[in-house]
Amino acid sequence: MRRLLFIVRKEFIQIFRNKAILPLITLVPIIQLIVLSYAADNEVRNVQLAIVDQDHSAYSRLLISKIRASDRFILVDAGASVARAKEGMQLGEVDVVLSIPPQFEKDFLRYKSGEIQLLVDAINGQQATVGAGYLSAIIQSFSQEIREDAAPMLAVQKRAGPQIKLEHAYWFNEELNYKHFMAPGIMGELVTILVMLLTAMNIVREREVGTIEQINVTPIRKWQFILGKMIPFLIIGLLLLTIGLTAGKLLFDVPMRGNLIVVFAYCLVNLAAVLGLGLFISNLSDTQQQAMFTTFFFVIIFILMSGLFTPIESMPQWAQWLTVPNPIAHFVNVMRSVLLKGSSFSDVSYNFWVTGILAVVFNFAAVKSYRKVV
């Protein structure tokens, strides 16, 4: 036990001897939290829309003014030529083309139906489909309006029958504040990545410098060595989370509806898993460079498949299975559930369990792969 304390103390001295560490665990996370929370915004704005109005009627102008009223579109001038608008789409200057044919208003009044065409550039899928979605909603309400407006003029008086009107209520994030949604997930991701990288670089560094040989001829036990390396990073990880939560609260006023003890308890389990994986990578690598690249491989998969940016539910089934051993996916889920929904321990106990099992597996691998004897 005493031996362990000496190892932990030595690790701490070494970690903080490194001048890059302090900014790395304080400033960098805050900057990332700010940048990512603002930038990783799934809300679609700035859709480049070209409206080709060949009708120039009261109705077409009404529709255009309704679209203008929305702040999601940037109107691109394409004159009255669909061809020019298509050209713009080829050049990437236009995401969506809305074409109002000549006679639109006349047809509408005469035949009770008018046709409008939407051309969507599906290369940038999100921007285009979500943009087209917004546009459809606007057109829908426009259509409703002109129907009522034109009713007296229409040949057949058609009383509006019973209608279903959808009312949305957004729970847990009433204002659909994207920062509130992103920041907790990003905190979880940051803590995991930083700790994993620091750990992965650690043992391999001792191997590179040669100090590990000296350690190996001492009576230090494997578990003492591994635990001695883990404890400092565990503490740093918890510190990181504290800094992240404080920054999230101060900067974005992220709600904290659930019990923070659940968050910290989960963080502890998660760190145990990630540290084990980091040390395992470190044990298998010969150089710090190798360790870094291996870590990046995992980190990239972990992040992209964590549900942080794209919902896990919309991944194919096999990919959803792959997210089960992904510590970041669980962390993101726990952070969002507890902070935004106010989930209790029992609500996220699945995440606790899976991560706990991961921790056991990874650490077993770490201890096994650390060989004192060659």
Binding footprint of other proteins on the chain (CB under 8 A): 2-3, 5-7, 9-10, 13-14, 17-18, 209-211, 213-221, 372-374
Q: Would you call 316 exposed, middle or buried from its count of C-beta atoms within 10 A (0-12, 13-18, 19+)? A: exposed
On whether the CB atoms of residues 216 and 210 are closer than 8 A, the answer is no
The strand order across the sheet containing 47-53 reads 73-76, 47-53, 96-100, 117-120
CB closer to other proteins out of 219 and 311: 219
Cα gap 308→201, rounded to integer Å: 25
**Angle (deg, nearest 10), helices 327-336 and 260-284:** 170
Residues 6+ apart with CB under 8 A from 34: 247, 251
Q: What is each CA distance from 240 to 21, 67, 201, 234, 237, in whole angstroms?
A: 12, 45, 18, 10, 5
Cα gap 74→336, rounded to integer Å: 33
DSSP string, 99-148: EE-TTHHHHHHHHS----EEEE--SSHHHHHHHHHHHHHHHHHHHHHHHH
Residue 7: CB minimum distance to other proteins, A: 7
Give the alpha-carbon dihedral of 227, 232, 238, 243, to 10 degrees: -170
Question: In the chain, helix, strand, coil percent, each to 5?
Answer: 65, 5, 30
Residue 206: CB minimum distance to other proteins, A: 9
